[in-house]
Amino acid sequence: MDLSFTDTQKMLVTEARQFLKSTWGTSMVRKLAEDTKDYSNDLWIAMAELGWMGIVFPQEYGGTGGNLIDLCALVEEMGRHLVPGPFCSSIGLVGLTLLKEADNETRSLMIPKLASGQITATLAVTEETGGLAPEDIETICVRKNDHYILNGIKLFVPDAQNVDYILIAARTGSKPTNISLFLAPTGSDGIDIRAHKTMSFDAQGELRLVNTQLPLSSLIGEFNNGWPLVDRALQLGTMLKCAEMLGGAEIILDKTIEHLQERVQFGRPIGTFQALQHHCANMAIDVEGCRYLTYQAAWSLSQGFNSRKEVSMAKAWVNEAYNRICTLSHQCHGAIGFTMEHDLQLYTRRARVQEQSFGETQFHVEILTKNIGSLRRGSL
């Protein structure tokens, strides 16, 4: 048993924190929001120069051969500092899927570019229902001679407006899991992408596919048997979302403690009051739960184990815990925390959006009911 980061991972975390502290602040996050941009090219290039995009890819593809725990640690830091951009989408959702499932040609074409940050990508699964089951996918793909034709509308696609490629999950047969994956450049004819307008300036978009023609080589994995690939990518994405939220939860607790040490009322720091101390103790317990459930999921995935239970436990807990933390932090901050000027709202608003992405709490609780003993499908 070893419940800590390796020395290399600790170094990675320290370097990432120092770098983000010196180059990326909440003022830049706000500026992006004002400019209605959601992505900083300068930051992306700087991150690429540090080798972050290559962290989980093998050296033969220009990466540094790290594992999912390295990636998890890095994303945790990015979550702390509200780093924008399609990092998790490019690396976790698409890069690792291609590494495992694409043919040699696609791999050697795509992965070095993803690993160096030259190109970006995302995965499009959800549609009108907003669900994550194969049944929710209605986008249709048919094969016509030497190409595929896709039609449908994808919604809530993470980073859709900021990427060069989209891995599209489309229906290719009548059985619920008859899903196939296609990799398409976002500039292709018949692809139209619009950004969603959200309360938290996070990047997600709508993808319209109108008679989109893709070459046969765009198929990733087996035809009609792509759901396991989507499923795996979603598990990775869920774990990374947890890591991002964990980073947010940690910094919110840190900032709350700072505030309670400095703010004086009744002639003393309000941190001396038990009511607020106990809020912080509860927040600390919640952070601890977020941390080890997330690391456990990352570790389990990195070992190649069936990690469905670990991933769902993590997301179901982090969803609720992170939002409890934000709410208590507002209570500790008083009126100032409710202003646009204060950074707290940047996290609070994102926390509610993050809660919904990659499965809301009940989605994961339901997965758990099917994975703890043999509980039957519950009746109403």
| 28 to 34, 189, 350: CA distances (angstroms) | 10, 34, 16
| Nearest distance from C-beta of residue 137 to other proteins, angstroms | 25
| Nearest distance from C-beta of residue 372 to other proteins, angstroms | 5
158 forms bridges with which residues in the sheet? 204
| Nearest distance from C-beta of residue 64 to other proteins, angstroms | 18
Q: In this complex, which beta carbon is closest to other proteins, that of residue 167 or of residue 314?
A: 314
| Nearest distance from C-beta of residue 46 to other proteins, angstroms | 28
Q: In this complex, which beta carbon is closest to other proteins, that of residue 277 or of residue 345?
A: 277
DSSP SS3 for 204: strand
- Separation CA 304–CA 309 (nearest Å): 13
Residues 6+ apart with CB under 8 A from 139: 127, 150, 151, 152, 153, 154, 168, 169, 170, 171, 209
| Nearest distance from C-beta of residue 273 to other proteins, angstroms | 8
| Nearest distance from C-beta of residue 89 to other proteins, angstroms | 24
Q: In this complex, which beta carbon is closest to other proteins, that of residue 187 or of residue 304?
A: 304
| Nearest distance from C-beta of residue 364 to other proteins, angstroms | 9
What DSSP line would sit under 39-60, residue for residue?
Answer: --HHHHHHHHHTTGGGTTS-GG
Q: In this complex, which beta carbon is closest to other proteins, that of residue 19 or of residue 273?
A: 273
| 325 to 97, 103, 114, 258, 349: CA distances (angstroms) | 33, 44, 35, 15, 12
CB burial readout 308-328, b (16+ within 10 A) else e: bbbbbbbbbbbbebbbbbbeb
| Residues making contact with other proteins (CB under 8 A) | 1-6, 9, 69, 253, 257, 260-261, 268-269, 271-274, 276-278, 280-282, 284-285, 288-289, 292-293, 295-296, 298-300, 313, 316-317, 362, 365-366, 368-369, 372-376, 378-380
DSSP SS3 for 165: strand
Q: In this complex, which beta carbon is closest to other proteins, that of residue 38 or of residue 70?
A: 70
Q: In this complex, which beta carbon is closest to other proteins, that of residue 340 or of residue 380?
A: 380
Degrees to nearest 5, angle at CA 237 with 232 and 161: 120
Q: In this complex, which beta carbon is closest to other proteins, that of residue 220 or of residue 298?
A: 298
Name the nearest CA neighbour of 124 among 171, 83, 79. 171
| Nearest distance from C-beta of residue 237 to other proteins, angstroms | 20
| Nearest distance from C-beta of residue 191 to other proteins, angstroms | 39
Q: In this complex, which beta carbon is closest to other proteins, that of residue 59 or of residue 303?
A: 303
- Separation CA 272–CA 356 (nearest Å): 36
Task: Give me the sign of the Cα torsion angle 377, 241, 93, 203.
Answer: positive
Q: In this complex, which beta carbon is closest to other proteins, that of residue 12 or of residue 220?
A: 12
Residue the block writes with tokens 């709410």: 327
| Nearest distance from C-beta of residue 350 to other proteins, angstroms | 22
DSSP SS3 for 70: helix
Token reading at 137? 């996918």
Degrees to nearest 5, angle at CA 304 with 137 and 362: 45
Q: In this complex, which beta carbon is closest to other proteins, that of residue 9 or of residue 106?
A: 9
